[in-house]
Amino acid sequence: MPELIRLTIDGRSVEVEPGTLVIEAARRVGVKIPSFCYYEGLSLAGACRMCLVEVEKMPKLQTACTLVATPGMVVRTDTPQVAEARRAMVEFLLTNHPLDCPVCDKGGECELQDMAFRYGAAESRYLEAKHHVPEQQWSPVVFYDRPRCILCYRCVRVCDEGMGVGALGVVNRGGRSEIAPNRGDHLECDECGACIDICPVGALTSGMYRYQTRPWEMNHVGTICAFCADGCKTTLGVYHDRIMRGNNRDRSGLNGEFLCIKGRYAADFPHHPARLSRPLVRQDGELRPASWLEALSLVEARLREALAAGSPIGVIGSNHTTNEENYFLQKFARQWLKTNHLDHQRTGDVPALASALAGREGTLASTEDLYTARAVLVVGADLAQQHPLLSWQIRANWRHHRARIYVVTTGPVREDRYAARSVRVEPGGELEGLLALAEALRAEPDLVILFGDAIQGEDVARLVAFGDSLGIPVKYVCLVDYANSRGAADMGLLPDLGPGYQPLERPGMTLEEMLECPDLAVLWVVGANPLIGRQRPPSRFLLVQDLFLTETARLADVVLPAASAYEKDGTVTNVCGEVQRLRKVVAVAGVKTDLEIFSLLACRMGFQKDPVGWETVLREIADAVPGYRLSVPALLAGAPQRTHFASQASSSRRGKVRSARDTLFTSGTLGRFATILSQVREAPGALYRG
């Protein structure tokens, strides 16, 4: 532990680690020094001069954001000279500013407004004509209004350093300086919107939100992103039951402020005109609208018939429904429908990892571990496209801690740029490619290995054996595709494993087998689209629950309109096995949550007396599922809870695992109904594009 440095700020004594900046030291004792260009986690710019402070024995005011604390330093932030400097800086920043706050998207949450309010610069001595530049649209996502820009370069740095994209630059000089996109008049980038959110003023605005509403007119609800498996917390702004935008400015949740385009701007799918709002039943070969009563009675009758005849029933679960829904569905299937024909579209071989790591504590990497590990190995995945948050974490780890990154993929990836070693292999050669890295990895103090569907079945155990052979602590992440893919596996939506990967005596059919099986009386598909590009399966009755009339729903006998992740409460488990709370953001007329549907059916069929709520099921999960003994109160309060693999977890050897290979701009069915994803010119994106 290096010796601490003691300094005085506004008469208060504070001790900080060597290397701490004065602006940070001040925050520790509750002194907030105003800043625009300073941004925690990004490189220093020293561009805005808002943070000027007085330091004893230094003749001129100093920028607190670039000044490193030294022993005995005496800093004052409350002198008339400092106040005058701040006032002058605000006046200076406002010289060319259009002062169009009444119509600016940022009005009400603008840092420049706040500074002007606090440090005052109501009067301007600037009489010259303001330099005007028309507003520019750079992409469907990003718009730039130069006159509002205060040239803090936050956007440039977050895109360069945070995103690893580097799409923004600064052109011209002095008062004519402006931010410019990488393709001259337009952007080609991740379209993540990080630059928009980080902009302290309204210079960068988003295609989704601009000129739609005022920040204070919205309700803000923090929930978990409905798209990929990384589990970012997104705070959705809601106006009149419509989702207007997503952001995470309070840096809460395991993603901090990170979000990709899907978490920020793809949240309009709940309001898509193609959304199902009434049950549909097939009559004379056509699907026609029906009441919930009629549809549920029909389903009940078919299930009762099948049970009475002892005919097999198949159930295909979802990668998007909550843990509670998944758990309840497997209970419904196994306990009440007496069937083990239960599966979901598996996108990563989590059961194999559960088996390989059974009984070992602390071998699952958390999202945080990706930021703190000394070394990270990526096997067979394009993280920047498929797991944007994990990619961000690893990049931050490299920037802040000089972590060493190793890559084994079949094509170039963004990680190559800062990787200690990148190995290119033929498809299927991933495990072998690893061997080339063994020596380098052995020299690392610790390691996190992330692997995609290139490693599955027996290969997962081989990968873990390779990890063991390194003689260093190794943690793993098995990459899966969607918001609750991990939860679907953990909750036992598998033909041969129950919740927590407990082996079953009589394994049922896999998804593929169910789709081919001619004897199924009922095939029940929940929030999945396995029939895309296929014929109707031979099962006698096909029940589908979904948001949209998917290819699978089109073939169904009954379609029940389901609520999306943004329309319900519950929990989901991310790719790293962290459980987080989903909160209902909006209500959509006509639909029911999948849990409501299951529960209503269970009541009708006499399996239970009263419908259950998600909290009841969550408590049951916490009691019954090995590895899920989590703190329910902490979870309800919004803290992610880590899970682990139980000691007797078993491996599923049945059925192939396949990632859907979504990119930044696709995401299965949901992606098709999120307007912005298809509008950006980079869509649909390419894997291994680098």
Number of residues that bind ligand FES (CB under 6 A): 12
- Of the pair 405, 480, the CB lying nearest another protein is at 405
Residue 640: cis peptide before it, omega within 30 degrees of 0: no
Which CB atom, from 35 or from 205, has the smaller least distance to ligand FES?
Answer: 35
Instruction: Choose one: 227-235, 293-301, 424-432, 583-591; the region binding ligand SF4 (CB under 6 A).
Output: 227-235
Select the residue whose beta carbon is closest to ligand SF4 and give its number: 263
CA-nearest of 556, 531, 187, 577 to 354 is: 577
* Interface pick for ligand FES out of 7, 22, 25, 35 (rule CB under 6 A): 35
Residues ≥6 apart with Cβ < 8 Å to 430:
379, 380, 408, 409, 410, 451, 454, 455
Which of 42, 225, 280, 379 lies at the binding interface for ligand SF4 (CB under 6 A)? 225
Minimum distance of ligand SF4 from residue 566's CB (angstroms)? 12
> Under the criterion CB under 6 A, does residue 344 sit at the interface with ligand FES?
no
CB of 166: closest distance to another protein in angstroms? 6
Binder to ligand SF4 among 49, 97, 106, 154 (CB under 6 A)? 154
Residue of 9, 25, 50, 547 interacting with ligand FES (CB under 6 A): 50
Euclidean distance between the first and the last CA atom of the chain, given in angstroms as a whole number: 40
Q: What is the Cα–Cα distance from 14 to 8, expressed in whole angstroms?
A: 6
In contact, 408 and 430? CB cutoff 8 Å: yes
Residue 205 is a binding residue for ligand FES (CB under 6 A): no
Q: Which of 145, 137, 170 is nearest to 37 (CA)?
A: 170
Exactly one of 5, 52, 69, 195 binds ligand SF4 (CB under 6 A); that residue is 195
Produce one character per residue of 208-242: b if its CB has 16 or more CB atoms within 10 Å, e if not. Answer: bbbeebebeebebbbbbbbbbbbbbbbbbbbeeee
Residue 281 makes CB contacts below 8 A (sequence gap 6+) with 287, 288, 290, 294, 295, 298, 557, 558, 559
Strand partners, 580: 572
Residue 533's closest CA among 515, 545, 519? 515
Interface region with ligand FES, contact rule CB under 6 A, candidates 31-39, 137-145, 318-326, 505-513: 31-39
Q: Which residues contact 198 (CB under 8 A, 6 or more apart)?
A: 39, 154, 155, 158, 257
Min. distance of Cβ 168 from another protein in angstroms? 7
How is residue 244 written in tokens?
A: 């207007």
Nearer to ligand FES, 116 or 236 (CB): 116
- Minimum separation from the CB atom of position 479 to ligand SF4 (A): 12
Question: With CB under 6 A as the contact rule, which of the stretches 41-49, 191-199, 243-251, 256-264 interacts with ligand FES?
Answer: 41-49
CA dist., res. 322 & res. 616, Å (int): 13
Taking CB under 6 A as the rule, does residue 36 contact ligand FES? yes
Question: Interface with ligand FES includes 47 (CB under 6 A)?
Answer: yes
The residue range among 60-68, 257-265, 511-519, 520-528 that interacts with ligand SF4, by the rule CB under 6 A, is: 257-265
Q: Are 489 and 351 in contact (CB under 8 A)?
A: yes
Sign of CA dihedral 660, 663, 664, 670: negative
Contact window for ligand SF4 (CB under 6 A) among 193-201, 367-375, 517-525, 552-560: 193-201
Provide the CA 529 distance to its chain's centre, in angstroms: 22
Determine the distance from the C-alpha atom of residue 313 to the mean position of all C-alpha atoms in its chain, rounded to a whole number.
Answer: 35
Among 16, 48, 306, 522, binds ligand FES (CB under 6 A): 48
Q: What string marks each residue from 58 to 97 as x (binds ligand FES by CB under 6 A) or -?
A: -----x-x--------------------------------
By beta-carbon proximity to another protein, the closer residue of 115 and 168 is 168
From 14, 23, 45, 165, residue interacting with ligand SF4 (rule: CB under 6 A): 165
Q: What, of ligand FES, ligand SF4, another protein, none, does residue 47 touch, CB below 5 to 8 Å by kind?
A: ligand FES
Note whether 515 binds ligand FES by CB under 6 A: no
* Residue numbers 505-564 binding ligand SF4 by CB under 6 A: none
Return the beta strands (E) in 575-688 as ranges.
Answer: 578-582, 641-642
Closest CA to 90 of 30, 33, 150: 150
Tally of CB atoms within 10 A around 624: 15
Is 142 a residue that touches ligand FES (CB under 6 A)?
no
Contact (CB, 8 A) for 336 and 607: yes
Tell me the three state secondary structure of residue 204. strand
Shortest reach from residue 589's CB to ligand SF4, in Å? 26
Nearest to 236 by CA among 259, 256, 254: 259
Of 173 and 506, nearer to another protein (C-beta) is 173
Q: Does 437 bind ligand SF4 (CB under 6 A)?
A: no
Q: Give me the least distance between CB of 75 and ligand FES, in Å please.
A: 14
Q: Report the nearest approach of ligand FES to the CB of residue 159 (Å).
A: 18
- Chain centroid to CA 181: how far? 25
Residue number, 7 or 497, with CB nearest to ligand FES: 7
Answer yes or no: are the C-beta atoms of 416 and 446 closer than 8 Å. no
Residue 180 near which of ligand FES, another protein, ligand SF4, none (CB within 5-8 Å, type-dependent): another protein
Q: Does 153 engage in binding with ligand FES (CB under 6 A)?
A: no
> Strand runs (DSSP E) across 344-416, as ranges?
375-379, 404-409
Q: Which residues bind another protein (CB under 8 A)?
A: 166-173, 180, 182, 184
Rounded CA gap, 45 and 150, in Å? 13
Asked if 277 and 685 count as a contact pair (C-beta separation under 8 A), the reply is: no
Q: Would you count residue 263 as binding ligand SF4 (CB under 6 A)?
A: yes
- Tokens representing 425 are 């292999």
- Among residues 23, 42, 69, 155, the one that binds ligand SF4 under rule CB under 6 A: 155
| Partner from another protein, ligand FES, ligand SF4, none contacting 173, C-beta within 5 to 8 A by type | another protein
Q: How far apart are CA 449 and CA 447, in angstroms?
A: 6
Token readout for 344 is 């979901």
- Which residues of this protein are in contact with ligand SF4, per CB under 6 A? 141-142, 149-155, 158-159, 163, 165, 167-168, 179, 187, 189-195, 198-201, 203-204, 225, 227-228, 230-232, 259-260, 262-263, 388-389
- Which residues of this protein are in contact with ligand FES, per CB under 6 A? 35-38, 46-51, 63, 65
